[in-house]
Chains A and B, each alone.
Chain A
Amino acid sequence: MKNIFKISYRNLLRNSRRTLLTASLITLGVVFVLVYTALSGNFKNYMIGQITDSAMGHIQIHKKGFVASVENLPLDKNLNKKQLEYLETFLNKSKYIQSYSYRIKFGGMFSNFVTSTNIRLNAINPKSEFETLPMLKNRFEGFESLGKGGIIVPELIASGMKVKKDDTVVLVANNKSGSVNGINLKVAGTINRISGPGGRDGYIHIDDAKKVLRIKDIEVSEIVIRLKDNDMLDIALEELNPILQKLNVNEKPVFEIHSWKKLSPFYNIVKMLDIMNLGIQIILISIVLISILNVMIMSVYERVKEIGTIAAMGTPPKTIVKLFLMEGLLLGILGAVLGSILSIIIVQGLDMIQLTYNFGQESNLILEPVLSIKDIIVVSIVVIFISLLASISPAIKASNLDPVEALRTN
Chain B
Amino acid sequence: MIEVRNLKKVYKVGALDLTVVNDLSLNIEDGEFISFIGPSGSGKSTVLNMIGCLDTPTFGSIRINNQDINKLNKTQLAKFRGENIGFIFQNFNLIPVLTVYENIEYPLIMIQNLKEEERKKRILKLLDEVGMLDQKDKTPDKISGGQMQRVAIARALVTNPKIVFADEPTANLDSKTAYLIIELMKKIQKEHNTTFIFATHDEKIVSNVDRVITLVDGNIIKDERVSK
Interface residues of A (CB under 8 A from B): 3-4, 7, 10-11, 13-14, 305-306, 308-319, 403-404, 407
Q: Say yes or no for B87: interface residue by CB 8 A criterion.
A: yes
| Complex: A407 Cα to B110 Cα, angstroms | 19
Q: Using A14-B96, A14-B97, A309-B93 as known contacts, say yes or no to A315 and B110 having CB atoms under 8 A apart.
A: yes
Chain B nearest CB from A19 CB (Å) reads: 13
Q: Residues of B contacting A308 with CB < 8 Å? A: 93
| Complex: A4 Cα to B110 Cα, angstroms | 8
Chain B nearest CB from A180 CB (Å) reads: 92
24 A-B residue pairs with Cβ-Cβ distance under 8 Å, sorted by A, are A3-B110, A7-B95, A10-B98, A306-B93, A306-B96, A310-B110, A312-B52, A312-B54, A312-B87, A313-B81, A313-B82, A313-B87, A313-B111, A313-B155, A314-B78, A314-B80, A314-B81, A315-B110, A315-B111, A317-B74, A317-B75, A318-B75, A403-B54, A407-B93
Q: Using A7-B98, A404-B55 as known contacts, say yes or no to A316 and B106 having CB atoms under 8 A apart.
A: no
Mostly, the A contact residues are helix
| Complex: A7 Cα to B107 Cα, angstroms | 13
Residue from A10, A312, A318 within 8 A of B81 (CB atoms): A312
Task: Select from chain B the residue with minimum beta-carbon distance to A311.
Answer: B78
Q: Say yes or no for B3: interface residue by CB 8 A criterion.
A: no
| Complex: A319 Cα to B155 Cα, angstroms | 18
Q: Using A310-B106, A403-B54, A404-B55 as known contacts, say yes or no to A316 and B79 having CB atoms under 8 A apart.
A: yes
Interface residues of B (CB under 8 A from A): 49, 52, 54-55, 74-75, 78-83, 85-87, 89, 91, 93, 95-98, 106-107, 109-111, 155, 159
Q: Using A3-B110, A319-B110, A407-B89 as known contacts, say yes or no to A314 and B97 having CB atoms under 8 A apart.
A: no
| Complex: A317 Cα to B76 Cα, angstroms | 10
A305 touches B97 (CB 8 A): no
Q: Residues of B contacting A10 with CB < 8 Å? A: 97-98
Q: Residues of A contacting B95 with CB < 8 Å? A: 7, 306, 309-310
| Complex: A317 Cα to B49 Cα, angstroms | 18
Residue from B49, B80, B110 within 8 A of A404 (CB atoms): B49
Q: Residues of B contacting A11 with CB < 8 Å? A: 97
Task: Select from chain A the residue with minimum beta-carbon distance to B107.
Answer: A313
Q: Using A309-B89, A403-B54 as known contacts, say yes or no to A315 and B97 having CB atoms under 8 A apart.
A: no
Chain A CB within 10 A, most for which of B78, B80, B85, B155: B78
Chain A CB within 10 A, most for which of B52, B54, B80, B85: B54
Chain B CB within 10 A, most for which of A4, A14, A314, A403: A314
| Complex: A311 Cα to B111 Cα, angstroms | 10
Chain B nearest CB from A282 CB (Å) reads: 35
